[in-house]
Amino acid sequence: MTGAAMPAHTYFEDVEVGAEHETPAMTVTEAHVALYRGVTGDAPAESGIAPEILVLCLATGLGWRLERPPLVVLAFMGIEWKIVRPLRVGATIRAVSRTAVKRGMREGGVVMEDHSIVDQHGDVLQQGRFSFLVARRPA
């Protein structure tokens, strides 16, 4: 992305290691599973269970609803992820995250966040680490 300044965004300089965030919650429905299956061709392993990657996709969408200004992500670099337990359709998920690592590069910087997706009982469904390339604040 070039230097066109976007208002109210979180740039690399604004990221604080140790900062914690919790997203709003959402209920995962059969409609999500059907839409996901239609778009991606990826199907649930068994009826009534949400495809694992759908749960991950919904959780990243929840991340965009945080109260902090959105992170200026130049590139999603990678994921290291564990699926701890399946999600039954009808469960309500939210994501909690903590900024773990921040490393400056010539073009922007790498930010690593530890994320957990939890259900309405507080049980962890999935967890792991995301790595992003984040823009520096335009001079």
Whole-angstrom distance, CA of residue 112 vs CA of residue 11: 14
CB 44 within 8 A of CB 114: no
Stretch that binds another protein, among 13-21, 53-61, 89-97, 113-121 (CB under 8 A): 53-61
Give me the residue label for tokens 């740039």: 11
Q: Within a 13 Å sphere around the CA of 122, how many CA atoms are in the beta-carbon half?
A: 0
CB 35 within 8 A of CB 89: no
Smallest distance from another protein to CB 16, Å: 21
Smallest distance from another protein to CB 55, Å: 11
If binding means CB under 8 A, how many residues of this protein chain bind another protein? 40
Smallest distance from another protein to CB 138, Å: 12
* Site map (CB under 8 A) of another protein, residues 1-20, x = contact: xx-x-x--------------
For the chain, what is the radius of gyration of the CA atoms?
16
Q: Which of 69, 78, 104, 138 is in the footprint of another protein by CB under 8 A? A: 78
CB 108 within 8 A of CB 91: no
Beta-carbon neighbour count of residue 29 at 10 Å? 13
Q: Which of 70, 90, 104, 138 is in the footprint of another protein by CB under 8 A? A: 70
Does position 82 interact with another protein (CB under 8 A)? The reply is yes
Binding region for another protein (CB under 8 A): 1-2, 4, 6, 32, 35-36, 38-43, 45-46, 51-54, 56-58, 60-62, 64-65, 70, 73, 75-83, 86, 128
